[in-house]
Structure 1
């Protein structure tokens, strides 16, 4: 993988994280999970090609910009998903407690 290909993968990942943000904003959790898998596949591709020579000049600037954009989208996604995850956790814990009470009292 050459430098241009590396930058292209990073920029593709930016597009995916932006779609992830759209999915999280719309509470489309299944779509968000699908996009996470797609993004992870690109990350594995980058990891498999780590031996690429360090980027310089414009390629390096584009890579850094892509990473910053992904981190920003990730933060915004976490801001949207954290309340949902907390709610889901409370539902799971509530059901677990309900089952323990039912077992304890033979209900």
Structure 2
């Protein structure tokens, strides 16, 4: 089993890759990376529970640096994802509204 710190290092790499995917509007890749991030988070929870010794001072500092970097990445990812999600919501609400109108007035068609 990997150490919690090495898992945080892996999460940081995935987080940076998520930023690249968001900047490129590569939503499929972003979803895949989010799943990878969730798996790493679960591994960290298991590794932390099984850890025999706490992190030393240098490891704790590194962990804090990695978490800070991932939080910055999250802000950057949200800058790209939130506008896209807004347009998707608008599209979906328009589609739902169209279906409701067709259903209400008995209109058929695509």
Q: TM-score, normalised by structure 1?
A: 0.92
Runs (5+) with no aligned partner, structure 1: none
Instruction: Classify the secondary structure of the residue corresponding to 1:27.
Output: coil
Q: Please, what is the CA RMSD of the aligned residues?
A: 1.2
C-alpha distance in structure 2 between counterparts of 1:49 and 1:11, whole Å = 14
The Cα of 1:54 is off from its aligned counterpart by 2.8
* 1:25 lines up with 2:23 in the alignment: yes
The 5 Å alignment of 1:69-84 reads 69-84=69-84
| Alignment correspondent of 2:96 | 96
Structure 1 runs of 4+ off > 2 angstroms? 49-54
Q: TM-score, normalised by structure 2?
A: 0.90
**Number of residue pairs aligned between Structure 1 and Structure 2:** 105
Runs (5+) with no aligned partner, structure 2: none
The Cα of 1:90 is off from its aligned counterpart by 0.6
C-alpha distance in structure 1 between counterparts of 2:39 and 2:24, whole Å = 24
